Amino acid sequence: MSATRFTKEEEDSIRQALKSGGKLRSARELHGFVQRYNWDDGLDVLFAMIRHPLCDRGTALMIYWLADPSYAKSHATREDVPEYNRSGYDLVMEIETRMLAGGFRQAAIGYAPVDEDLVPEAAAARARTSSPIPEMMWQRSPGPCLIPPFTQDKILRSLNDREMSELERQFALAFTVLKEAGQPAAPQDEPAKIVGAISAAAVVIREDLAGKKKKWRTQHTTALQWLWKKQLCRCGAWRWAASEPAQGGNPMVITTDGKWYGIFKELQEVIYWSTSANTWRRLYDQNPANAGLSWDGQITRRFAALCNGSVGRRHGVTPMTDIFPLDETWIFAASGSLCPGQPGM
């Protein structure tokens, strides 16, 4: 899919609209606004966007899929949706109804909805919905996609010596944490065994923190998360990468095909978000797809799914195009190889 950038004038207009509600002058600017809009600020603005006469089909599709139609369609009626999620349900259904009725005729901005061939969970999403997502909603809108406004050029590269050294320090600390939590493991152990130890250690740390028996720090859980990521790389489907410039952020794990990257928070969820009063925990328990699946087990379940090729947003991974939104060839280092010589540490 080809991609184009916003002009400086368009970016200025979008920035003004985001800050103080300035006027959007074109379908492109409206699309860029939605790309950078913070959904935590409420859905009223998004309803206004899809009702705007300049709203392009690609923009409507983007809002539709970001609103998680598989969740909305897993409920037979609106009354079945928890009250705090009904506005999201209404947003999905309004877009879908208008699209099926021939609305959103302007179609000049490309947007590619979830592709079943690239995201295995999409088929499962279709199967578990009470009312299937219509075929039309899965179809790509015509036209070039728009690179999100304010995006800076970056490329992916191999980790440098400094980054590699820091990761090794994190791994060493993680094994120390496992030992102190009573879940010892060794670097040569099978990845699944190490992940099992990490999962058990997370529960120990949570219980210690609740009982104030031991002073665990954020650096300890962070080290365990890095060790968890290393096991993904050892499985062969993932590898380490970093973005340019060198100061551009932490090392990340990406799929070997360069299409997905992961920001994984399983440990933080299990350790810090486990009370029934926590919003994310409550949503997890209320999701029918999680019936019979323990909250604590997500550390090992997600690892197994990602090692077996189940890649998608519900597994805590994000399309690379969210941060590197140009053509695929653009995200590869100048050598022509993504992370050359690093099949996994």
pLDDT of res. 72: 87
Question: Phi and psi (nearest 5°) for 102?
Answer: 95, 15
Please report which helix (H) or strand (E) contains residue 226, including its range: helix 218-235
What does the block give as tokens for 77?
């009626």
- Report yes or no on whether pTM surpasses 0.95: no
Mean per-residue pLDDT over the chain, rounded: 79
Rounded CA-CA distance 78/99 in Å is: 19
Write the single-letter amino acid at 92.
V
Tokens of 215: 């002073």
Rg of the Cα atoms in the chain: 22
Please state the domain extents for the chain: 3-146, 156-331
Q: What is the pLDDT of residues 224-254, one digit of tens each?
A: 999 999 999 998 888 888 876 544 456 888 8
Predicted confidence at residue 292, as pLDDT, reads 75
Give the model's pLDDT for residue 126: 55
Give dist(CA 45, CA 29) in Å, integer. Answer: 14
**pLDDT recorded at residue 152:** 60
Residue spans of the chain under pLDDT 70: 1-2, 114-131, 152-155, 244-250, 263-266, 273-284, 289-290, 310-345
Span 282-292, pLDDT tens digits? 666 777 766 77
Do residues 140 and 320 touch, judged by C-beta distance below 8 A? no
Q: Are strands 3-4 and 145-146 parallel, antiparallel or unpaired?
A: parallel
